[in-house]
Amino acid sequence: MYLNPQNQQQVIAHITKIMKDLKLLRQSENIGVNENGESELATRTLTRFDNNNRFDIHDLADVIKTIRTDKPLFRDDCPHFDDPQLMFLDSIESAQEMSKEKIKRFMQPTAVDSGLFARFNTRAKWLQDNQIHRPKEAPAASPKELTEKEKQQAAVKADVDAIRAEIDAIPGTGQYAANQRARLHKRLNELLSDRNFKYRDRFKQITLTGLEALKRQMADELRDKDSPIR
Protein backbone atom coordinates (compact mmCIF):
# COMPACT_ATOMS: atom_id res chain seq x y z
CA MET A 1 0.00 0.00 0.00
CA TYR A 2 1.30 3.43 -0.94
CA LEU A 3 -0.92 5.91 0.93
CA ASN A 4 0.36 6.99 4.34
CA PRO A 5 -0.03 9.93 6.75
CA GLN A 6 3.13 11.53 5.38
CA ASN A 7 2.00 11.74 1.75
CA GLN A 8 -1.82 11.87 2.13
CA GLN A 9 -2.19 15.65 1.79
CA GLN A 10 0.13 15.69 -1.22
CA VAL A 11 -1.87 12.89 -2.87
CA ILE A 12 -5.17 14.70 -2.18
CA ALA A 13 -3.75 17.88 -3.73
CA HIS A 14 -2.60 15.90 -6.77
CA ILE A 15 -6.04 14.27 -7.23
CA THR A 16 -7.78 17.63 -6.76
CA LYS A 17 -5.65 19.12 -9.55
CA ILE A 18 -6.57 16.25 -11.87
CA MET A 19 -10.26 16.84 -11.10
CA LYS A 20 -9.83 20.51 -12.02
CA ASP A 21 -8.12 19.47 -15.26
CA LEU A 22 -11.05 17.20 -16.10
CA LYS A 23 -13.55 20.00 -15.42
CA LEU A 24 -11.51 22.23 -17.72
CA LEU A 25 -11.56 19.62 -20.47
CA ARG A 26 -15.32 19.16 -20.06
CA GLN A 27 -15.87 22.92 -19.82
CA SER A 28 -18.13 22.16 -16.88
CA GLU A 29 -18.06 22.16 -13.09
CA ASN A 30 -19.55 18.69 -13.22
CA ILE A 31 -17.29 15.67 -13.63
CA GLY A 32 -19.96 12.98 -13.77
CA VAL A 33 -21.08 12.59 -10.16
CA ASN A 34 -23.46 14.66 -8.06
CA GLU A 35 -22.99 16.03 -4.55
CA ASN A 36 -23.94 12.73 -2.92
CA GLY A 37 -21.29 10.95 -4.99
CA GLU A 38 -18.41 13.23 -4.03
CA SER A 39 -17.57 11.29 -0.87
CA GLU A 40 -17.62 8.01 -2.80
CA LEU A 41 -15.38 9.57 -5.45
CA ALA A 42 -12.90 10.77 -2.83
CA THR A 43 -12.74 7.34 -1.20
CA ARG A 44 -12.27 5.48 -4.46
CA THR A 45 -9.62 7.82 -5.83
CA LEU A 46 -7.50 7.48 -2.68
CA THR A 47 -7.95 3.70 -2.75
CA ARG A 48 -6.87 3.65 -6.39
CA PHE A 49 -3.68 5.54 -5.57
CA ASP A 50 -3.08 3.35 -2.51
CA ASN A 51 -3.21 0.23 -4.69
CA ASN A 52 -1.25 1.50 -7.71
CA ASN A 53 1.02 4.31 -6.42
CA ARG A 54 -0.11 6.46 -9.33
CA PHE A 55 -3.16 8.44 -10.37
CA ASP A 56 -3.78 10.34 -13.58
CA ILE A 57 -6.74 11.65 -15.54
CA HIS A 58 -7.36 8.22 -17.07
CA ASP A 59 -7.61 6.71 -13.59
CA LEU A 60 -10.06 9.44 -12.59
CA ALA A 61 -12.23 8.82 -15.65
CA ASP A 62 -12.26 5.09 -14.91
CA VAL A 63 -13.23 5.63 -11.26
CA ILE A 64 -16.07 7.97 -12.28
CA LYS A 65 -17.32 5.48 -14.87
CA THR A 66 -17.34 2.72 -12.26
CA ILE A 67 -19.26 4.84 -9.75
CA ARG A 68 -21.85 5.81 -12.36
CA THR A 69 -22.36 2.11 -13.14
CA ASP A 70 -22.31 0.75 -9.59
CA LYS A 71 -24.28 3.58 -7.96
CA PRO A 72 -26.53 5.27 -10.52
CA LEU A 73 -28.04 7.61 -7.91
CA PHE A 74 -24.61 9.27 -7.73
CA ARG A 75 -24.69 10.20 -11.42
CA ASP A 76 -24.79 13.94 -12.11
CA ASP A 77 -27.78 13.49 -14.44
CA CYS A 78 -29.87 11.54 -11.90
CA PRO A 79 -33.10 13.50 -11.34
CA HIS A 80 -34.02 14.31 -7.73
CA PHE A 81 -30.99 12.38 -6.45
CA ASP A 82 -31.40 13.81 -2.94
CA ASP A 83 -35.12 12.96 -2.55
CA PRO A 84 -35.31 10.57 0.45
CA GLN A 85 -38.59 9.11 -0.78
CA LEU A 86 -36.96 7.97 -4.02
CA MET A 87 -33.78 6.41 -2.61
CA PHE A 88 -35.11 2.92 -3.29
CA LEU A 89 -35.69 3.71 -6.98
CA ASP A 90 -32.22 3.04 -8.36
CA SER A 91 -32.85 0.57 -11.20
CA ILE A 92 -35.49 -0.65 -13.62
CA GLU A 93 -35.79 -3.76 -11.46
CA SER A 94 -36.55 -1.74 -8.31
CA ALA A 95 -39.43 -0.06 -10.16
CA GLN A 96 -40.73 -3.41 -11.43
CA GLU A 97 -40.65 -4.89 -7.93
CA MET A 98 -42.86 -2.21 -6.39
CA SER A 99 -45.98 -3.59 -4.75
CA LYS A 100 -49.42 -2.30 -5.71
CA GLU A 101 -49.73 -0.67 -2.30
CA LYS A 102 -46.48 1.22 -2.77
CA ILE A 103 -47.49 2.41 -6.23
CA LYS A 104 -50.81 3.64 -4.82
CA ARG A 105 -48.99 5.78 -2.26
CA PHE A 106 -47.31 7.71 -5.07
CA MET A 107 -50.67 8.27 -6.76
CA GLN A 108 -52.52 9.65 -3.74
CA PRO A 109 -53.74 13.28 -3.95
CA THR A 110 -51.19 14.41 -1.37
CA ALA A 111 -48.37 12.87 -3.43
CA VAL A 112 -49.68 14.54 -6.58
CA ASP A 113 -50.08 17.92 -4.90
CA SER A 114 -46.60 17.83 -3.35
CA GLY A 115 -44.98 16.94 -6.66
CA LEU A 116 -43.82 13.52 -5.45
CA PHE A 117 -45.79 11.72 -8.16
CA ALA A 118 -44.15 13.87 -10.85
CA ARG A 119 -40.67 13.29 -9.35
CA PHE A 120 -41.31 9.58 -9.25
CA ASN A 121 -42.33 9.53 -12.91
CA THR A 122 -39.28 11.58 -13.88
CA ARG A 123 -36.94 9.19 -12.06
CA ALA A 124 -38.65 6.09 -13.49
CA LYS A 125 -38.43 7.51 -17.04
CA TRP A 126 -34.74 8.36 -16.51
CA LEU A 127 -34.03 4.80 -15.43
CA GLN A 128 -35.82 3.45 -18.49
CA ASP A 129 -34.27 5.92 -20.95
CA ASN A 130 -30.76 5.14 -19.69
CA GLN A 131 -31.42 1.41 -19.32
CA ILE A 132 -30.14 1.39 -15.75
CA HIS A 133 -30.34 -2.15 -14.45
CA ARG A 134 -29.40 -3.54 -11.08
CA PRO A 135 -25.75 -4.65 -11.15
CA LYS A 136 -25.43 -8.40 -11.48
CA GLU A 137 -23.95 -10.12 -8.48
CA ALA A 138 -20.55 -11.62 -9.07
CA PRO A 139 -20.68 -15.42 -9.20
CA ALA A 140 -19.59 -17.09 -6.01
CA ALA A 141 -16.00 -18.20 -6.04
CA SER A 142 -15.48 -21.91 -6.53
CA PRO A 143 -14.48 -23.62 -3.31
CA LYS A 144 -10.76 -24.25 -3.05
CA GLU A 145 -9.72 -27.83 -3.64
CA LEU A 146 -8.06 -29.00 -0.44
CA THR A 147 -4.83 -30.95 -0.44
CA GLU A 148 -4.74 -34.34 1.27
CA LYS A 149 -2.92 -32.76 4.20
CA GLU A 150 -5.55 -30.00 4.49
CA LYS A 151 -8.33 -32.61 4.36
CA GLN A 152 -6.69 -34.53 7.19
CA GLN A 153 -6.26 -31.34 9.24
CA ALA A 154 -9.92 -30.42 8.65
CA ALA A 155 -11.05 -33.89 9.75
CA VAL A 156 -8.97 -33.65 12.94
CA LYS A 157 -10.37 -30.18 13.69
CA ALA A 158 -13.93 -31.42 13.16
CA ASP A 159 -13.37 -34.29 15.62
CA VAL A 160 -11.78 -32.02 18.24
CA ASP A 161 -14.55 -29.43 17.79
CA ALA A 162 -17.12 -32.19 18.32
CA ILE A 163 -15.45 -33.16 21.62
CA ARG A 164 -15.39 -29.52 22.74
CA ALA A 165 -19.07 -29.19 21.85
CA GLU A 166 -19.87 -32.32 23.89
CA ILE A 167 -18.02 -30.86 26.87
CA ASP A 168 -19.87 -27.53 26.51
CA ALA A 169 -23.17 -29.45 26.36
CA ILE A 170 -22.71 -30.90 29.88
CA PRO A 171 -25.96 -29.82 31.58
CA GLY A 172 -26.12 -27.58 34.58
CA THR A 173 -25.67 -23.91 35.39
CA GLY A 174 -24.09 -24.27 38.82
CA GLN A 175 -20.46 -24.33 39.90
CA TYR A 176 -20.29 -28.15 39.85
CA ALA A 177 -21.12 -28.34 36.13
CA ALA A 178 -18.85 -25.39 35.38
CA ASN A 179 -15.97 -27.19 37.14
CA GLN A 180 -16.65 -30.34 35.13
CA ARG A 181 -16.51 -28.42 31.85
CA ALA A 182 -13.35 -26.56 32.86
CA ARG A 183 -11.62 -29.80 33.96
CA LEU A 184 -12.50 -31.66 30.77
CA HIS A 185 -11.44 -28.76 28.52
CA LYS A 186 -8.12 -28.67 30.37
CA ARG A 187 -7.74 -32.43 29.96
CA LEU A 188 -8.46 -32.20 26.23
CA ASN A 189 -5.82 -29.50 25.82
CA GLU A 190 -3.32 -31.66 27.69
CA LEU A 191 -3.96 -34.60 25.39
CA LEU A 192 -3.70 -32.43 22.30
CA SER A 193 -0.25 -31.29 23.34
CA ASP A 194 0.94 -34.79 24.31
CA ARG A 195 2.16 -36.41 21.09
CA ASN A 196 3.26 -39.55 22.94
CA PHE A 197 -0.12 -40.31 24.52
CA LYS A 198 -1.34 -43.87 24.04
CA TYR A 199 -4.65 -45.52 24.86
CA ARG A 200 -4.81 -49.18 25.83
CA ASP A 201 -7.99 -50.97 24.74
CA ARG A 202 -8.26 -53.76 27.33
CA PHE A 203 -11.02 -55.60 25.50
CA LYS A 204 -9.32 -55.79 22.11
CA GLN A 205 -5.86 -55.88 23.65
CA ILE A 206 -4.58 -53.17 21.32
CA THR A 207 -2.85 -49.85 21.86
CA LEU A 208 -4.14 -46.77 20.06
CA THR A 209 -2.16 -43.63 19.31
CA GLY A 210 -2.80 -40.20 17.85
CA LEU A 211 -6.31 -38.88 17.32
CA GLU A 212 -8.02 -42.25 17.93
CA ALA A 213 -6.31 -42.52 21.31
CA LEU A 214 -7.43 -39.01 22.24
CA LYS A 215 -11.04 -39.65 21.17
CA ARG A 216 -11.29 -42.87 23.17
CA GLN A 217 -9.74 -41.31 26.28
CA MET A 218 -12.05 -38.28 26.16
CA ALA A 219 -15.06 -40.56 25.61
CA ASP A 220 -14.13 -42.41 28.81
CA GLU A 221 -13.63 -39.20 30.77
CA LEU A 222 -16.90 -37.72 29.55
CA ARG A 223 -18.69 -40.95 30.53
CA ASP A 224 -17.09 -40.90 33.96
CA LYS A 225 -17.28 -37.14 34.50
CA ASP A 226 -19.12 -37.56 37.81
CA SER A 227 -16.42 -39.89 39.14
CA PRO A 228 -13.24 -38.89 37.27
CA ILE A 229 -10.63 -41.59 36.97
CA ARG A 230 -7.84 -38.99 37.16
> What digits encode the pLDDT tens for the residues 77-113?
999 999 999 999 999 999 999 999 999 999 999 999 9
The mean pLDDT value for 191-213 works out to: 89
Number of C-beta neighbours around residue 75 at 10 A: 21
- Residue 159 contacts by C-beta under 8 Å, 6 or more apart in sequence? 211, 215
Is the pLDDT at 230 greater than 70? The verdict is: no
Min mean pLDDT across 2-11, 132-141, 215-224 is at 132-141
Query: Is residue 112 domain-resident?
Result: yes
For 112-130, how does the pLDDT look when each residue is reduced to its tens digit (9 = 90+)?
999 999 999 999 999 999 9
Does 218 map to a domain? yes
Quote the pTM value.
0.55
Whether residue 111 sits in one domain with residue 64: no
| Same domain assignment for residues 157 and 106 | no
Range of the domain at 155: 148-223
Rounded Cα distance, 100 and 123, in Å: 18
- Number of CB atoms found within 10 A of residue 181's CB: 16
Model pLDDT for residues 130-181, shown as the tens digit of each residue:
999 988 876 777 778 888 888 888 888 999 999 999 999 888 888 998 898 9
Q: Is residue 11 part of a domain?
A: yes
Say how far apart CA 167 and CA 150 lie, in whole Å. 26
Would you say residue 228 has pLDDT above 70? no
Q: Look at residue 141 and tell me if it is in a domain.
A: no
CB of 17 closer than 8 Å to CB of 31: no
Residue 217 resides in a domain: yes
Tell whether 116 and 163 lie within a shared domain. Answer: no
Is there a single domain that holds both residue 70 and residue 89? no
In a domain, 21, yes or no: yes
